[in-house]
Amino acid sequence: AGHGYAGVRVDIRGSGESDGVLSDEYSQQELDDGVEVIAWIARQSWCSGAVGMMGISWGGFNGLQIAALRPPALKAIVTICSTDDRYRDDVHFMGGALLTAKFGWASVFQLFMAHPPDPVLVGDRWRRMWLERIDAAPLFLAQWLRHQRRDAYWKHGSVCEDYGAIACAVLAVGGWTDGYTNAIPRLLAGLSAPRLGLIGPWAHRYPHFASPEPRIGFLQEALRWWDRWLKGIDNGVMDEPMLRTWIMDSVRPAAWHEERPGRWVGEPAWPPVAVPRRLFLTGEGLRAAPGEDVALTVRTPQSLGAAGGSWCPFGVGPDDADDQRDDDALSLVFDTEVLESAVEILGAPVLEIDVAADRSPAVLVARLCDVHPDGASLRVSYGVLNLTHRDGHEVPKPVVPGQVMQVRLQLNDAGFRFPAGHRIRVALSTTYWPMIWPGPDAATVTVFAGSGVLLLPERAGAEGATPVLPEAVTAAPARSTVLREGQSSRTAGWDDDTGERYFRFSDTPSVVRIDDIGIELENEGGGEFGIRDDDPLSARAELRRVNTVSRGEWRVRTEFVMRFSASRDAFHVQAVLSAFDDAVLIRRREWDETIPRDLM
């Protein structure tokens, strides 16, 4: 406000204090409402008629999706940690394989959409609105699982279907530790509207308080953007490189880093004009020239992937990838010789190789690692491909056992510098638990090395000066009091009786009071993933979350418990949503859903 801007925060229909019910993520109703809200803002006496949109995660998705509808008053957006492709790069699928991260998001989403509105703001009708929301809610996870290929359901809201629909200016922001960064290079390459990209080392947070550091003055950067596109001030913001990004240096592997050393670089255009470095997969490792034809097989234990971390780290605890040595030891590994000079990459590594499999479906996971002289293995990037999706995600094709397939496996974009004295490693596996849900059978994949190639997006150097970004600043947060400090724990181990590998997580109750409005928020949760190395059908997931909201004598609680498993032919979801007014159970919804597997 001190810079002449009005900020408007909107509760989506059916959430917060808004009326109605919410049927799904990014519904057409939601987007139409967004267009109407923008038109309302533009009509107000305090508005110049120029409107911008900014948000992170869901809010970042919204900015892109509503921009594609071209509301006349929308002149610019800032989209943070978002995606242009809801199937290819979101919490639901990766490479045509099922991400278990969607289970956690489904439980959070289901519970948050069952929150009541605030009686202080909506009056006595709060209880009726609350029950209406609970009664109307579908089981969101089952709804998503009914679309296992890239059909019209996922194309809706995926702006990559028509980049040309976006005419307003776009500032796309993300971090290498986040799960959504791949969209930024695609947006820069696909959009024709004015656009800039900014990628730091960060996880799923705003850049002025994100980890790993360094943080930046994101608010100052946003202000420059708004001044240019909402006030028409020619302040030189569009003279910046199209992409400003942090090239990360090598560090010791760890599940959490307070800081990632490196440096800022600028790319004047995207994609850059560069010839990728070709490293061939041979019987001797990664080499600069093809080797003799050799067939190598890989079938990894179902529990491989313990060091994989979260699909989308938040940078507030040990949720990033740890030392990969144990997983590497169980994988099919290709190493370079010791590097004589540093190799710097920026972009998406790609693996092009011939493979065959003895089962359908079958999954191939590729990890790109920086191997230290003592053997420590730092994951730089990774990619997943369900081989039934080898020719695209819209019409998967069964794998014919033994038939040779040419596949292209694109890994996540990365900005990284492999130092001299280290090795570059590609590690291939057929499993990645608990990040990827396994197929119905333990598949063996044959890799035909010799001519298979890793295409590394080697960076030759950028033109112009190194970007200089402002120091992070922020206003004081709303006053709050921590009444109870919660504790988080993450444990992994083996059950000697069942032979199961388990992953357990628990967040004990935390209670925070927002002082200015007297609301107290209590959150707790937990869950467990389990699998036996000899049986992919033993995979299971159980999650529980509880949220309590109170003010004085008013106290409401919602609980959600979900169990997920699979048979050879179907996925199975059981869930219970319970709502309590004080200590009285006023609603209980139960679901028991079976969804056929679709080559997954």
Instruction: Reduce the DSSP state of residue 567 to 3 states and report it.
Output: coil
Residue that has been written with the tokens 């947060």 in this structure: 477
Share of the chain above pLDDT 70, in %: 99
| Pairing status of strand 480-484 against strand 519-532 | unpaired
Residue at 422: amino acid letter = H
Torsions phi, psi for 575 (to 5 deg): -150, 150
pLDDT of residue 153: 98
Q: Which two tokens stand for residue 451?
A: 């001519």
| Pairing status of strand 405-410 against strand 97-98 | unpaired
As a whole number of angstroms, the distance between CA 435 and CA 303 comes to: 10
477, burial (CB in 10 Å: exposed 0-12, middle 13-18, buried 19+): exposed
pLDDT of residue 590: 98
pLDDT of residue 383: 98
Question: Is there a contact between 155 and 161 (Cβ–Cβ < 8 Å)?
Answer: yes
Torsions phi, psi for 454 (to 5 deg): -100, 120
What is the mean predicted confidence (pLDDT) over 134-141?
96
Mapped to the 3 state alphabet, what secondary structure does 37-77 carry?
HHHHHHHCCCCCCCEEEEEECHHHHHHHHHHCCCCCCEEEE
Query: Of the candidates 524, 562, 519, 529, which has an alpha carbon nearest to the alpha carbon of residue 545?
Result: 524
Instruction: Reduce the DSSP state of residue 83 to 3 states and report it.
Output: coil
DSSP per-residue string spanning 442-476: ---EEEEEEEEEEEE-B----SSPPP--PPP--PP
As a whole number of angstroms, the distance between CA 458 and CA 336 comes to: 15
Residue at 505: amino acid letter = F
pLDDT of residue 463: 56
Question: Is there a contact between 396 and 385 (Cβ–Cβ < 8 Å)?
Answer: no
What is the mean predicted confidence (pLDDT) over 151-172?
98
Residue that has been written with the tokens 């950067």 in this structure: 221
Torsions phi, psi for 187 (to 5 deg): -65, -40
Torsions phi, psi for 160 (to 5 deg): -65, -15
Split at pLDDT 50, 70, 90, the class of 464 is low
Angle CA(415)–CA(103)–CA(387) in degrees, nearest 5? 60
pLDDT per position as a tens digit, 479-537: 999 999 998 888 999 999 999 999 999 988 899 999 999 999 999 999 999 999 999 99
Question: Is there a contact between 559 and 577 (Cβ–Cβ < 8 Å)?
Answer: yes
What is the mean predicted confidence (pLDDT) over 102-129?
95
CB atoms within 10 A of CB 574: 16
What mean pLDDT value characterizes the chain? 96
Split at pLDDT 50, 70, 90, the class of 475 is confident
Query: Of the candidates 272, 284, 246, which has an alpha carbon nearest to the alpha carbon of residue 423?
Result: 284
Question: Is there a contact between 92 and 193 (Cβ–Cβ < 8 Å)?
Answer: no
DSSP per-residue string spanning 262-288: EEEEEESSSS---PPEEEEEETTEEES
As a whole number of angstroms, the distance between CA 402 and CA 387 comes to: 13
Split at pLDDT 50, 70, 90, the class of 451 is confident
Give kind and range of the element (H or E) at residue 317. none
As a whole number of angstroms, the distance between CA 533 and CA 535 comes to: 6
Instruction: Reduce the DSSP state of residue 515 to 3 states and report it.
Output: coil
Contacts of 513 (CB under 8 A, 6+ apart): 480, 481, 483, 519, 520, 521
* Residue 462 predicted with pLDDT over 90: no
As a whole number of angstroms, the distance between CA 334 and CA 102 comes to: 31
pLDDT of residue 273: 85
Q: What is the separation of C-alpha 10 from the centre of its chain, rounded to a whole number of angstroms?
A: 23
pLDDT per position as a tens digit, 64-115: 999 999 999 999 999 999 999 999 999 999 999 999 999 999 999 999 999 9
pLDDT of residue 465: 67
Residue at 330: amino acid letter = L
Q: Which two tokens stand for residue 58?
A: 């869901």
As a whole number of angstroms, the distance between CA 294 and CA 378 comes to: 27
164, burial (CB in 10 Å: exposed 0-12, middle 13-18, buried 19+): exposed
As a whole number of angstroms, the distance between CA 42 and CA 52 comes to: 10
Instruction: Reduce the DSSP state of residue 123 to 3 states and report it.
Output: helix
